Amino acid sequence: MHFFRTTIVALILAFQSRAAEEPAHGEAESKEMGPVAFMWPSDRVWSEKTDNAPPCGSAAQPGNRTNFPLMRGAVALVIQDESWNVEVAVAYGNNPVSESDFSGIRGMRADEVNEGHVCYALPESPRAVTDGSNATIQLKYTSDFGTDKNQTFYACADITYVDSAAFTTPIPCFNVTSEEFVTPKESGSVSVHRHWNVALAAILGLAAVVAAAVL
Ligand SMILES: *[C@@H]1O[C@H](CO)[C@@H](O)[C@H](O)[C@H]1NC(C)=O
Ligand SMILES: *[C@@H]1O[C@H](CO)[C@@H](O)[C@H](O)[C@H]1NC(C)=O
Ligand SMILES: *[C@@H]1O[C@H](CO)[C@@H](O)[C@H](O)[C@H]1NC(C)=O
Ligand SMILES: *[C@@H]1O[C@H](CO)[C@@H](O)[C@H](O)[C@H]1NC(C)=O
């Protein structure tokens, strides 16, 4: 445990010195992802041009599917900018093409999410879904990221259900907000450091997952 704490402190220091070298003013926000993205399961290739297009915010077809347990599944999100009306929906089948193919998952709705990580446990999948069934999980939310108006954003993660007993991958499921890692001294220029804090939050969270698995 002592080693674990030392490692965390080293990581915090490394990230803070890195953040101090960042140029300035929002440049640091990632251009590799939208304001909210799937951390697990993996989402389709992101593009700024398509991320407001329903139902999946991507020009890509379902390609790389993540194995997903029939029971005790979860969706882990990374948030780099405050967003609203976050909804998670699912379409059973190989290639959903429209909004109407998706149905909302009960309880999978958040009025607001803040920078950091959030993970939602999914209810058990319906009986008709069995080992080998394909589905697409959709993320839909509102954000004013990079603009002065709210827009709807979409992302999709393609999955294949597997028997829970055969599913051994630890899901990186944790909640953490970037504010938890911002020292008071830094808080005047938080936005510049935002994506470092999100990255740091990711590492700390993963470290926590690993520690939980090991200890
Ligand atoms: C599948 O994953 C590979 C490697 O990450 C990537 O190069 C490829 O573009 C992905 N295919 C699709 C259809 O997303
Ligand atoms: C699920 O998708 C994969 C490829 O994405 C495909 O090879 C497989 O046949 C699909 N399974 C079903 C049950 O349709
Ligand atoms: C977008 O919507 C949220 C929630 O309703 C609101 O707090 C925010 O100010 C809006 N942003 C803009 C630019 O209108
Ligand atoms: C994370 O927070 C959300 C919203 O408060 C909650 O529904 C979810 O269960 C939490 N997840 C974990 C892993 O604690």
For residue 207, give the H/E element and its range: helix 190-214
DSSP string of 18-35, one letter each residue: HHHHS-STTTTS-SSS-S
Task: Kindly give the confidence (pLDDT) of every residue in the chain, 215 residues in length, as a single tens digit, with 9 standing for 90 and above.
Answer: 444 433 433 343 334 333 333 333 334 456 688 999 999 999 999 999 999 999 999 999 998 999 999 999 999 999 999 999 999 999 999 999 999 999 999 888 999 999 999 999 999 888 889 999 999 999 999 999 988 999 999 999 999 999 999 999 999 999 998 876 554 444 444 443 444 445 555 555 555 555 545 44
- Residue 192: inside a domain: no
In whole angstroms, give the CA distance from residue 135 to residue 161.
8
Q: Could you tell which of 38, 58, 64, 136 is best to mutate to test the pocket of ligand 1, judged by most ligand atoms within 8 Å of the CB? A: 64
Q: Is 35 exposed, middle or buried (0-12, 13-18, 19+ CB in 10 A)?
A: buried
Which residue carries 């139902």 as its tokens? 55
* Of the candidates 131, 112, 132, 141, the residue with the CA atom closest to the CA atom of residue 38: 141
Question: Distance from the CA of 107 to the center of ligand 4, in angstroms?
Answer: 11
Sign of the Cα torsion 57, 61, 66, 67 reads positive
150 CA distance to ligand 3 middle (Å): 6
CA distance 140 to 152: 7
Q: Which ligand is nearest to the CA of 121?
A: 4
Asked whether residue 100 is assigned to any structural domain, the reply reads yes
199: in domain: no
Residue 49 near residue 31 (C-beta atoms within 8 A):
no
Domain presence at residue 195 = no
- Indicate the SS3 state at residue 14: helix
Q: Which CATH number belongs to the domain containing residue 89 in this structure?
A: 2.70.50
Please enumerate in sequence order all residues whose Cβ is within 8 A of that of 99, keeping only pairs 6 or more positions apart, or say none: 54, 55
What is the per-residue pLDDT for 110?
A: 95
Task: Tell me what pLDDT residue 32 has.
Answer: 80
Ligand 3 center to residue 26 CA distance, Å? 19
pLDDT at 202: 57
CA of 41 to the centre of ligand 2 (A): 17
> Rounded to whole angstroms, what are the CA distances from 44 to 93, 108, 176?
16, 20, 24
The C-alpha atoms of residue 122 and residue 126 are separated, in whole angstroms, by 11
Torsional sign, CA 196, 202, 208, 214: negative
DSSP state of 9: H
Q: What gap in Å lies between CA 153 and CA 143, rounded to an integer?
A: 7
Residue 52 lies in a domain: yes
Nearest CA to ligand 2 atom 1: 134
- In a domain, residue 66? The reply is yes
Specify whether the CB–CB gap between 159 and 137 falls below 8 A.
yes
How many domains, in total, are found in the chain? 1
The answer to whether position 205 is within a domain reads no
Q: Which ligand is nearest to the CA of 136?
A: 2
In a domain, 188, yes or no: no
- What local confidence, expressed as pLDDT, does residue 28 receive? 47
Give the domain extent around 55.
Answer: 30-183
Report the distance separating Cα 189 and Cα 201, nearest Å.
17
Vertex 111, ends 195 and 119: CA angle to 5°? 55
